[in-house]
Every structure is written in structure tokens, then in C-alpha cells.
Amino acid sequence: MNTLVKGIHHITLCPGGAQEDVDFFTQVLAQRLVKQTVLMDGSIPIYHLYYGNADAEVGSIATSFPYSRKPGRAGSGQLSATVYTIPNGTATFWKDHFDRHNVEHSGVQERFGRKYVRVKHPVGLLFEVMEEPADTRNAWATKEVSKDVATRGFFGAVLSVRDVRDQEQFFTEALRFKKIGVDGPYHRFQAGDGVGNVIDLHHEPDRAPGSWGFGAGTAHHIAMNLETDEALSKQKAWYEELGFTDTSEIKDRFYFHSMYTRSPGGILVECTANVPGGFYQDETPEELGTKLHLPPWYEDQREAIVSQLEPITVPEENRPKTGTTATPAHVVAAKHDPVEESKVPLSRYKAAFTEKQ
Ligand SMILES: [Fe+2]
């Protein structure tokens, strides 16, 4: 069987307030806001904000559901840190940058011989910037974080588990990751050969389990890029052969197709297929993330949805500048199933959003 998982597609987190999240991602992590849309499950309008590198590349996309209406509980059985690559020798720059923003951080640390700094989002979510010399992806620059020090995309993620065994088997057998090594309580796995697809299982046997549903301060899931609908169907069959019969149906998320599986350690794992145009279907490279887009099947409820969302603003210096966001054609036309109409049955949920009184 060929490897169906090509790497990480995106990581989805639940912050609290939307503006607080935009400010942290765009100013502290120096990410580009690349899409404003809404959560497609449930009947309460919740933003779905996407942040990424200059090209909004798969494998650089952190997404957030600002869920201030309900707190979550961080713990084991969850993704505990989202990790970005930074150029070699820049960990100290990032430590100083975090100091300037008065955000809590770990100082420069080392894991598997690489320098990194761990930093805390105001809601408690953890991020790391990890030195990785081989990453040539197109970084997004801001006034404070120039291209030569900026993040390139994901290095990977840290997942907290109380028992490594079954989660390890899930990664190596169900998703075909390779085990790379062990450093103290960290067990490292990698998908494919490229940069940016590393999973560190953090063995924390005494850590209480975190919550599974949407809740501020917790990660919700990690998504793997399988590229095509055909690969999703094969992966679904492979999951079922291994006994993971709780895998969801394949859902139409407009910018990609998704199916979800609860993995043995408790972490929700999504598998995705790309669709023609991806994030560029409804915006030009320079317009990405500048206004709220709804999937076509929600457009008739735009007024009710918008009236229930807090307005957000991207700081001026973090917005795209004309002529600076030319995006390579290979990124715009991300690999996808060449047949326009998907050959797999897609599930599409449509809620009725009641207008706020
Ligand atoms: Fe997702």
C-alpha cells in the first residue's frame, strides 16, 4: 500500500475572543490571516479563521474557532503545541520578540538537538518556533518579523498522551508515519521525506485528560493531507480494516474535503482532500483573508450570521501590500482530484442560523 498521508494539512484550535486571536497570530506569531469564514457545524455562528505563510500553503495553516462562549480543559489526549519552522540561528530573535510583546515563553530550549522557543497564546494554547535549516517555503513578513527570520510553515505538532503504545501504532500503521527516535518523554514520527511533517508524542502518564469538544484554550484536531478524494476513500477502508469504524463520513468543507477519526490517545485526527483552487477559489492572492467569506450554501443567511459575529480588524502592517503577494501557480492549483465533481459521496450540513434579537 502506498503512503496515503502526504503530510500535515492544517491544525485547528479553539481560542477565546476573535480579535485577541487575530492580534496574537498576526503580531506575535507573525502569520498571515488568509481566510475569514465560519464553522460549518452547529447552528451558532462561530468564526473560522485561517492563518498561514505568504502563499497560504497546505502545511502552514493554523485555523481557529474563537469559542469564548465555553471554556475547554487542556490536558492529555490533545494536541498540546503547534510547531512552526524558523531559520537556524533565529531562536534568540524569537525569544526577544516574545519579550517585546510581554507574552509568556520558555526561553530557548532544545529537543532532538534543535533549538526552539515555546510561547503561550493569551487563552493558554501553546506554540513553538523550531529551528529547521532546510525549509524554503515562502515566509510571511511583518513590520517586526522580516522574511529572513519569519516562520515558513509547520514543523509539526506535539501531542500529549498518557500511554504512547496505541497512539504510536495509530501513526505508524493507520497513517504510515515513520518513527524517527526518542528524546526523553518525546517520541518522534514523520510523514514522507519533506520538511514540516513531524509529530512528537509527549508521554505524560500522570496528566489528566483534556476535554474533547469545542472549548476555549484547547486544540480541536490535527488534519493530514491525503490530496485526493480517492485517497480519502482508501484511507476510510484502511481505518475500517484496522477496526477504526468510528471514522466519519466525508464532509464538504468547501476549501477541501474532510473525514474525522478519534485516535486511541484521544486526539481527533482529520484526513483531507484538496479541491480545485483551494483557498484561492473565492479570493485573489492579494485579497486572501481580507473579508468574510461564507460557503455558497450559507450565503442566504449572511445577515443573520454576520450580526452574531464580533467585528475583527487585522492590524494595518499585517495586511497584504499591493504587488507583494504573487503566488506561485503550483500553490494556487494545489494538487487535487482532476474530476470537478467528486466521485465520493459528500456530506454537507446546513444549519438554520436564527437572527439575534
Ligand atoms: Fe479541520
- Per-residue pLDDT band for 325 (boundaries 50, 70, 90) equals low
Cα 90 to averaged position of ligand 1 atoms, centre (Å): 30
Instruction: Give the integer Cα–Cα distance in Å for 17 and 305.
Output: 17
Cα 259 to averaged position of ligand 1 atoms, centre (Å): 9
- Per the document, the length of the chain is 357
Cα 270 to averaged position of ligand 1 atoms, centre (Å): 6
Predicted local confidence at residue 22, as pLDDT: 96
Q: Answer whether residue 186 shows pLDDT above 80.
A: yes
Predicted local confidence at residue 357, as pLDDT: 43
- Per-residue pLDDT band for 318 (boundaries 50, 70, 90) equals low
Cα 285 to averaged position of ligand 1 atoms, centre (Å): 22
- Per-residue pLDDT band for 322 (boundaries 50, 70, 90) equals low
Predicted local confidence at residue 314, as pLDDT: 83
Q: Answer whether residue 74 shows pLDDT above 90.
A: yes
Predicted local confidence at residue 330, as pLDDT: 54
Cα 267 to averaged position of ligand 1 atoms, centre (Å): 13
pLDDT tens track for 96-132: 999 999 999 999 999 999 999 999 999 999 999 999 9
pLDDT tens track for 18-31: 999 999 999 999 99
Q: Kind and range of the H or E element at 161?
A: strand 154-161
Instruction: Quickly list H helices, 142-247.
Output: 164-169, 229-242
- Per-residue pLDDT band for 165 (boundaries 50, 70, 90) equals very high
Q: Region 84-101: what's the mean pLDDT?
A: 98
pLDDT tens track for 268-277: 999 999 998 8
**This prediction's pTM:** 0.94
Show the cell assigned to 15.
Answer: 481560542
Cα 150 to averaged position of ligand 1 atoms, centre (Å): 24
CB-CB neighbours of 356 under 10 Å:
8
Q: Region 90-101: what's the mean pLDDT?
A: 98
What mean pLDDT is reported for the chain?
Answer: 91
pLDDT tens track for 187-237: 999 998 789 999 999 999 999 999 999 999 999 999 999 999 999 999 999
Predicted local confidence at residue 341, as pLDDT: 63
Q: Answer whether residue 34 shows pLDDT above 70.
A: yes
Cα 142 to averaged position of ligand 1 atoms, centre (Å): 26
Predicted local confidence at residue 66, as pLDDT: 95
CA dihedral (177, 178, 179, 181) positive or negative: negative
Q: Answer whether residue 1 shows pLDDT above 80.
A: no
Show the cell assigned to 10.
Answer: 492544517
Task: Establish how many alpha carbons lie within 13 A of residue 76's alpha carbon, considering only the half-sphere containing its beta carbon.
Answer: 16
Predicted local confidence at residue 334, as pLDDT: 52
